[in-house]
């Protein structure tokens, strides 16, 4: 259990007001980490924060932050540091998608997805760097997607693919630069899990048929099936792992 013990560690989770962000926060809290959860919906963050503190007995700081606004990112990181005195773990989870045929896609939609999914990730990494460098320790986990590794023919979402592919290679680039400071940078590539972003289509009959035919395991991911990946990459057990993308996708990218 000591390999996965996060007691005394402090983690920032973006997109922490719903879906996978809450699951990641609870997985880290279950191992003893104190948390800072950030998102735009502050009232929802407060609710989640109270729930986590009551259930796991850790501290959970809610901070309002729009990942498209650099000053708010800077302030969120500073607020977390002032609360806990250090930043050990960053989980870049906030993400959006714009669906439209590539030839019809609006430029504003392209920029929106890139700003949230890629630029926001980079800026959070940049702002935690000095704190992690100072303590010669850091775990950065970027939430990419299996669609950062492959394309698809069912859902027209070129900017999502491009942004998540960028996250995968940004992860490699930062891992290479920051390894000398004992800052490990990795990413997770989830397959299809139910969330606010996917709930409209993931449970439809047509999509389930597509999923069953395309995914070797023949199903979508279940709640909790990302917990092991996030805890591993956040914990001492991954001390010699950096620059990697761990796809948790039921074998989708294996075939």
Count of C-beta atoms within a 10 Å radius of residue 9: 22
Which of helix, strand or coil describes residue 37?
strand
Count of C-beta atoms within a 10 Å radius of residue 239: 12
Sheet holding 245-248, edge to edge: 60-64, 34-39, 10-14, 89-92, 138-143, 183-190, 245-248
Burial environment of residue 128 by CB neighbours within 10 A (0 to 12, 13 to 18, 19 or more):
buried
Q: Which residue in the block uniquely carries the two structure tokens 């392209």? A: 110
Task: Check 56, 81, 160, 240 and give the catalytic one.
Answer: 160
Element (H, E) at 10: strand 10-14
Residues paired with 70 in a beta bridge: none
d(CA 39, CA 120): 12
Q: Would you mind telling me the total number of residues written for the chain in this entry?
A: 255
Annotated catalytic, 160? yes
Active-site residues, by number, are 160
């Amino acid at each position: 259990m000591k390999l996965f013990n996060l007691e005394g560690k402090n983690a920032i989770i973006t997109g922490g007001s719903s879906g996978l962000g809450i699951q990641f926060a609870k997985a880290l809290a279950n191992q003893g980490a104190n948390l800072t959860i950030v998102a735009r919906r502050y009232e929802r963050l407060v609710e989640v924060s109270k729930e986590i503190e009551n259930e796991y007995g850790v501290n959970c700081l809610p901070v309002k932050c729009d990942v498209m606004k650099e000053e708010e990112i800077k302030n969120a990181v500073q607020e977390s540091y002032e609360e806990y005195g250090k930043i050990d773990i960053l989980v870049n989870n906030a993400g959006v998608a714009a669906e439209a045929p590539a030839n019809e896609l609006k430029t504003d939609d392209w920029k929106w997805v890139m700003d949230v999914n890629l630029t926001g990730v980079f800026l959070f990494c940049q702002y935690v760097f000095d704190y992690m460098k100072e303590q010669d320790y850091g775990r950065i986990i970027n939430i990419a997607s299996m669609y950062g590794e492959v394309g698809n023919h069912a859902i027209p979402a070129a900017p999502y693919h491009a942004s998540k592919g960028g996250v995968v290679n940004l992860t490699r680039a930062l891992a290479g630069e920051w390894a000398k400071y004992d800052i490990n940078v990795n990413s997770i590539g989830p397959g299809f899990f139910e969330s606010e972003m996917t709930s409209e289509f993931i449970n439809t009959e047509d999509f389930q048929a597509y999923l069953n035919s395309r995914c070797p395991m023949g199903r979508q991911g279940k709640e909790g099936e990302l917990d092991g990946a996030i805890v591993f990459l956040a914990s001492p057990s991954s001390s010699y792992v950096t620059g990697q993308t761990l796809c948790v996708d039921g074998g989708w990218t294996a075939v």
